[in-house]
């Protein structure tokens, strides 16, 4: 039985997705980071499942959720590689219930704090560069935007961010 590590994402669509892709690409080129799809993680690093098990559980999650809106709050920066520069997401009832329901379905029992966000740059860089990047993003991204979360995307997280691949999508 071949198992892999998965994550479940919600992705913006249309013009917002295209704009955020360009922001991510531009920051990666300017500051030396990877290029990846814009997404908000519902549940990360789901270990030890086959593709079929991961699909089945993600479908169960999608069937339990209703579409909900993701509201950006502001451009922030952090100390973690995957949370270097990002858009904070408002922790609404829909966002938090998706996270909690995913944790139940996938058997997570530890108490984990959830800080919803949409990363714009992955990396470990000096604080002064993060500030410059944050300023760049504030000029090009309206932090008051929102998008409808109506599809869950299951991703195989093998390899680098450029190598992550979508396994399946499920409508809510």
CATH number, residue 72? 3.90.1140.10
Domain of residue 71: give its range.
4-171
pLDDT at 2: 65
Full pLDDT tens readout for the chain, 172 residues? 566 899 999 999 999 999 999 999 999 999 999 999 999 999 998 988 999 999 999 999 999 999 999 999 999 999 999 999 999 999 999 999 999 999 999 999 887 788 999 999 999 999 999 999 999 999 999 888 999 999 999 999 999 999 999 999 999 9
Name the region of 46 (left: φ>0; alpha: ψ -120 to 50; beta: rest).
beta
> How many domains are contained in the chain?
1
The whole-model pTM stands at: 0.94
């Amino acid at each position: 039985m071949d198992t892999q590590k998965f994550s479940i994402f919600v992705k913006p669509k249309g013009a917002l997705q295209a704009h955020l892709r360009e922001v991510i690409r531009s920051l990666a080129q300017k500051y030396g980071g990877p290029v990846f799809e814009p997404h908000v993680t519902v549940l990360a690093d789901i270990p030890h499942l086959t593709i079929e098990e991961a699909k089945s559980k993600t479908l169960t999650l999608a069937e339990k959720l209703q579409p909900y809106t993701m509201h950006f709050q502001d451009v922030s920066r952090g100390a973690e590689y995957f949370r270097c520069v990002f858009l904070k997401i408002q922790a609404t009832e829909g966002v938090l219930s998706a996270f909690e329901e995913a944790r139940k379905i996938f058997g997570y029992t530890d108490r984990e704090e959830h800080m919803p966000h949409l990363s714009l740059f992955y990396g470990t860089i000096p604080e002064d560069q993060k500030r410059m990047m944050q300023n760049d993003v504030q000029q090009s991204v309206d932090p008051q935007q929102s998008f409808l979360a109506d599809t869950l995307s299951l991703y195989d997280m093998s390899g680098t961010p450029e190598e992550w691949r979508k396994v399946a999508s499920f409508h809510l």
